[in-house]
Structure 1
Amino acid sequence: MRSFRGSLLGYVGSSPDVKQLAAKLVVSPSEVLKLDANENFFVDADFLNGVFVEVFRDVDLRFYDPRAMIELGKALGVYVGVPSECVVVGSGSEQLIDFIVQFFLEKGDEAISIVPSFFMYEKRVWLSGAKLIAVPLKADLSLDVDGILEKVTEKTKLIFVCSPNNPTGNEFGWREIEALADSCSAVVLVDEAYAEFGDGSICQKAVEKENVIVLRTFSKSFGLAGLRFGYFVANRDLAPALSEAVPYTVSTVVARFVEKLLNRFDAVKDWIEGVKSERERLIEELRSLRGVEVLDSKANFVTFKPKAGVERVYRGLLEKGVVVKDLGELPVIGHCLRVTVGLPYMNDVFLRTLKDVLN
């Protein structure tokens, strides 16, 4: 069995169990503030449940519905501004990462990933028997295009770029992605899990390239973390070839639900704007605290480094019922904490508790 001990996965730990933490603190589980998983608290659960009820009323679960996938592809194409044949769907972005790794990598191949970044790239590459080459971001967290290209060899088949990047929160422009794609034959996989919280997507430009895939999810901006739906966009030749190899993992219920939600994007847009507004307030408030270094963010989280001792601050927050993500020691940014952008009252509780811990 493969071991990830000592790898870049070192920052990945299990999230504290809310019920156990509540019992330890002698409080109700509802009093524990869980801000460590980048979930979208602005989503209206009643709204989503209402849409789901409509879907179950309309769908006959006894039968296959091939039209559901066709119409979902068209709706997604309209949403990101590309032809529907350029869209491939799956049961969450992690399943699609796994599929893409299996499709392009064999034992002995190499993939490149920026670091620090999403841990799943390394995990899937290792499990495929290929080798992951890590290229750190520059000191200003910009993409080191030359550094990446210097690591490209004839064995390099995939390059992972997360934008906006988890955990640094910054996003990269099309110019850098295009420079990578035009300078090598490797497939550049751009993970846009947090794109709706940023300044835009590269999907429309990516379909013009033969070796760019843009990966997206409904877990973040659409608030469907429990649904497991994702998709990717590629050009007219690459997407159909990949689509033929993707297993049928999206049910008719999920397909119809996602399509209905896309048709009601005005509600989703309000949720996104709520996150972005609170994110800016959270960053400003954190930067007002003495001894706290805060990274800019184009995602639904903020990464920060308390100079008073990261582990002590993390434990102090935990003991007061506030759960954030301890990222561990990472390349370039060092040991940081990451907090999900919550609703205004959640952010107020977090900030008040953090001030108490720091003092």
Structure 2
Amino acid sequence: MGRVVLVTGISRELALRFARALTSEPDVERVIGVDVTPPRGDLGGVQFVRADIRNPVIAKVIAKEDVDTVVHMSVVATPGDNAGRSSMKELNVIGTMQLLAACQRAPGLRHLVVKSSTTVYGASSRDPAMFTEDMPPKRLPKGGYAKDVYEVEGYVRGFARRRSDVTVTTLRCANSIGPRITSPLAQYFRLPVLPRVLGFDARLQFLHETDLLAVLRHATLAGVHGTFNVAGDGVMTLAQTIRRTGKPSIVMPGFAATSVGSLMRQTKLVDFSAEQVQFLTYGRGVDTTACTEVLGFRPDYTSAEAFADFVDSLPGGLTAPSRLLMSQVVPSGTAGGAHG
């Protein structure tokens, strides 16, 4: 008998793509996708079960389907349609707590894979050049997605201590990028004019969307216990990425960038939070030695190659939103030329 894998967050495209690909693995007997709403794309061989991981009913699903492997992909950086920050936090934190409680009561469970994020390290002026997995953030996150990820990982570590018989793999993934990615950072680079903070040039690492799917597959099938940073080789600076997009940028003080972020959120140009401004100010670097040597996975794309593939998918030219943005942040008579 092959594995029975349950994948959370199946209504999101990335989770659906992963679950569909997993159905073709010879060691996998069944793949069950759970979410409160059905996915919009083709399910392929994935069995969909309408269930809310924030509800204890998820325990019944795990027991009924004889699930031995759970892949948790419901820790999300952006709210879903018609959802706000409060419901996003509830899904991320409360949902994870309920899911882990269900896993705790599942005697047949053998593997747990959690898609986390390098956002857990935060972004500040005190950061080291490269974070290793055993380093805590230099400044604890005060809110937003970063705080959610920090709390989620704490609950996962607690579960791993209580269920030492379960192989727990936590993947701290760098910012995913690619033609089909709709993350806050991808939304930022899709802006026709790119705001950046005066006096700073953030360090960035990327993980191509196909490598993200590949590392999830590898972790699911390999069953290696531990927490791993996952990113494409190499580091880019924000100035380099802006040059490669060929787009104009606007340099502004940090306080102005925060105001611009609020403006863009109000006009729905991009979900540009305060933590995103921090990230684009300081950036972040992570060491991926453990991913290569212990987990046994190396991404096919370097950070630069992943970003290049993303740029190839961007449409050219300035649009009306760019002129709106420039009129709000550039004083009359001041040129907002390309920088970097």
Q: TM-score range by the shorter chain?
A: 0.3 to 0.5
TM-score (norm 1): 0.34
TM-score (norm 2): 0.35
Q: Relative contact order: is structure 1 or structure 2 higher (C-alpha 8 Å, sep ≥ 6)?
A: 1
